[in-house]
A = this chain, B = another copy of it.
């Protein structure tokens, strides 16, 4: 499903750039380098940059020089390279976007930091929490900006969702249920099936945990009741699916019971119908209401937040494609409140560039936040009896 969503985002952005005038770049625009030639780059960084006046596609690196050159030509990067390190050694590069396989995030984010670059790193941030802690420490020492690319959290809909949860109208939160599945499943041979590259459903589909922790403003779980993995047939260290049942505390300290279900090979209905409608989502039950955020991962394509009032039985639908509680009063690079054709990645870029420019971004995924997220994932793997991904950077 993620693949389908990404393709749809690509199309959405492509049409957006055809239909909307592109800005002139400022003479001092930040220069971005991309580490890897992953398919996701087009949606997650290249198209967003096209509509941002203060950052340009400067350099792209791949382990294979011709692949990099081809990508550079296709997307109008100024330079390309067959070596990640060569890109990092270029003093012109201001920002590095890391879209390597998960297992390489730490190594290359760390090297980018050492090279004095600001880093936007694909999710999951690292292979485990100790890598995350090390990266955050390194970035602080070096005085560079680093952020895990939890793009969905930047979208106006995520903040409409949070505003509803925190409006005081719905009472305290009782339980949450977050789901992210792939149906059709993640293709065989994909890097997400590879343990050595820090694959697994809880890693790749870290969104479901992110929806949960975001809704609750939670750190680590208070209790891990049960985590059960469905192991990959080809590598029992890789979770094809993961069922987690955790207790978190909400900001007032009330306990909340959270189910998190990720599945890279979700069974089709009757074995014949892929569950195309099962988009990443979260249901939050409060004392008074049941609040369901559909397609929380890519709300720019389509989403709704359905709020069912238990005391009346009525359901109200909310949508937020621009402005809203977070962005409504923000003067973005393209006007007040942003644009409704912006993807989650574009909203994220807006904040990231602001942070690099020393301005207070409208929203931020802090280093602490990414450490907590990885700590949760480590706890889930431990509870499931699977090995925590990656190694300990201090032991390298």
Contacts and interface: CB of A to CB of B under 8 A. Distances in A.
B311 A226 contact: no
B226 A171 contact: yes
Nearest to A267: B313
A3 to B, nearest CB: 20
A230 B310 CA distance: 6
A222 to B, nearest CB: 13
Interface residues of A, number: 25
A225 interface: yes
A285 interface: yes
B311 A245 contact: no
Interface in A226-262: 226, 228-231, 240-241, 243, 245, 257, 259
A288 interface: yes
A287 interface: yes
Contact of A230 (B226, B241, B287, B313): B313
A312 B175 contact: no
A104 interface: no
Given A175-B245, A257-B175, A285-B245, A228 B313 contact: no
A191 interface: no
Nearest to A242: B310
Interface string A309-348: 0111100000000000000000000000000000000000
A174 interface: yes
Contacts of A231: 311
Contact of A174 (B245, B265, B310, B311): B245
A287 B171 contact: no
Interface string A285-325: 10110000000000000000000001111000000000000
Contacts of A243: 285, 310
Given A245-B285, A257-B257, A228 B311 contact: yes
Contacts of A226: 171-172, 174, 287
Contact of A288 (B172, B228, B287): B228
11 contacts: A171-B226, A172-B226, A175-B245, A175-B257, A175-B259, A226-B287, A228-B310, A228-B311, A229-B311, A230-B312, A265-B313
A184 to B, nearest CB: 15
A231 B226 CA distance: 36
A221 to B, nearest CB: 14
Given A228-B287, A229-B311, A243-B310, 6 more contacts: A226-B287, A228-B288, A228-B311, A230-B310, A259-B285, A265-B313
Interface string A254-292: 000101000001010000000000000000010110000
Nearest to A287: B226
Pick the 5 closest A-B CB pairs, nearest first: A228-B310, A226-B287, A243-B310, A174-B245, A257-B257
B245 A310 contact: no
Nearest to A226: B287
